Amino acid sequence: MNSEYVEYMNTSSRQRPRWLLALPALALVVVGACTSSLEPNVDSVSSKAVLGTAESFAVLGGSTVTNTGPTTVVGNLGVDPGLAVTGFPPGLISGTFHKGDNVALQAQKDTTAAYNTLAGQAVTLDLTGKDLGGMTLGAGVYHFSSSAQLTGTLTLDAKGNPNAEFVFQIGSTLTTASNSSVIVINGANDCKVFWQVGSSATLGTGTAFKGNIVALTSITLNTSAKVSGRALARNGSVTMDSNAVSTLSCTPSADAGVDSSSLVDSSPSPDAPTTICCGSASAVCGGACVNLNDDSANCGSCGNACAGNQVCDTGSCVACATLCNGVCADLANCDTNCGQCGKSCKDNQTCSNGSCVQCKTLCNGSCADNDEQNCGSCGNVCASGQTCQGGSCVCQ
């Protein structure tokens, strides 16, 4: 009998006969017996628990998204039904902010659907009461009736199957100790790992995590924790502190067939800008795409931050006429501070000369009248050196 399917990497387990270790899993799965009808269906989740529109989000909160320090987010960042996103800058994002708009609303609906589907998957093995640290797990659905803890390293082994799915159903909290890690081997894909969390998830300082966290309540990423995947909170907040969250590594791992002792973490880091393609209008600063013409944290060059009473205009810091909650606001054209601080235009409106007016062009549920990527019509991109005004590309 083979206990390779779930291997507990600690001394006390090593001292037990290997056939005893296999007994908890034997009734559910036989590893190596490829013709066995009891082998877990590793392809089921990809068709049943898709993230839908939430797939484009690296971070999605229900009430708020807050950040402290030089966090980098590669992918969209959103919140719904809440509206508050704070800490960007100093945090950087390569993607689009969606605060209480139709895109964020639909992403939350799809996150809820994914959460329910993941929770309903047939269980391969119950791990209630066991620490994930030191385990090597094959593809399957792993259940915790209450909380789950990771102390140390968890290894997920696809065994050469590019369709391998790993689902963790957690009844209450998910917690990782400082400097813990999840690694994937033998062709596993970071984004085919799903963590369905019944309350809140907390990643300890320096944790290197892989997979999609889909939490009912909140997600907290402590200092320097990294997530190769997604942090999606249905009802509560996402709280970050000098983190890196990225959806870039959603391809089969390059470590297939390599002994786990020689592996290094392949999660994207803020110091690896060459993996990000921004296009001609942007530059890579701190691992994220930014526009040096209007980014107040990188005005004209990476790291050149404007003062709190200034705004970045064509690559230069200039005095700001109006501050809203400590952030410089263009009351004439800002959809969230139109004419006055805190006055937001509706999804089908845009701010023009301080007044909310009917939007001429809607793309993916958002107004694109002044969107340089959808100027006048969806997909109409303005040339370099042009800006979109009232649906027309004009020279700056």
| pLDDT for residue 318 is more than 80 | no
User: What is the residue-wise DSSP string for 252-279?
Assistant: B-TTTT--GGG-------TT-GGG----
- Which pLDDT value is given to residue 346? 78
State the pLDDT confidence band at 292, using cuts at 50, 70 and 90. Answer: confident
Residue 216, CA distances (Å) to 86, 88, 199 in order: 21, 24, 5
Residue 321: CB atoms within 10 A of its CB come to: 12
What are the pLDDT digits (tens) for 242-291?
Answer: 999 998 766 433 332 223 332 233 333 333 333 344 444 456 665 566 67
Q: Nearest Cα to 294, choosing from 330, 322, 326?
A: 330
Identity at 388, one-letter amino acid code = C
Counts for the chain of helices (H) and strands (E), in that order: 4, 35
Q: How far apart are CA 198 and CA 186, in angstroms?
A: 30
Domain ranges of the chain: 40-257, 290-320, 329-358, 359-396
| pLDDT for residue 24 is more than 80 | no
Return the minimum-mean-pLDDT range out of 13-17, 155-159, 232-236, 346-350.
13-17
Rg (CA), the chain: 23
What is the 3-class SS of 97-166, one letter each residue? Answer: EEECCHHHHHHHHHHHHHHHHHHCCCCCEECCCCECCCEEECCEEEEECCCEEECCEEEEECCCCCCCCE
State the pLDDT confidence band at 33, using cuts at 50, 70 and 90. Answer: very low
| pLDDT for residue 320 is more than 80 | no
State the pLDDT confidence band at 344, using cuts at 50, 70 and 90. Answer: confident
Largest CA distance in the chain: 77
| pLDDT for residue 36 is more than 70 | no
User: What is the residue-wise DSSP string for 164-194?
Assistant: --EEEEESS-EEE-TT-EEEEETT-BGGGEE
What are the pLDDT digits (tens) for 294-311?
Answer: 777 777 777 777 776 676
| pLDDT for residue 225 is more than 70 | yes
The sign of the dihedral angle between the CA atoms of 267, 270, 272, 275 is positive
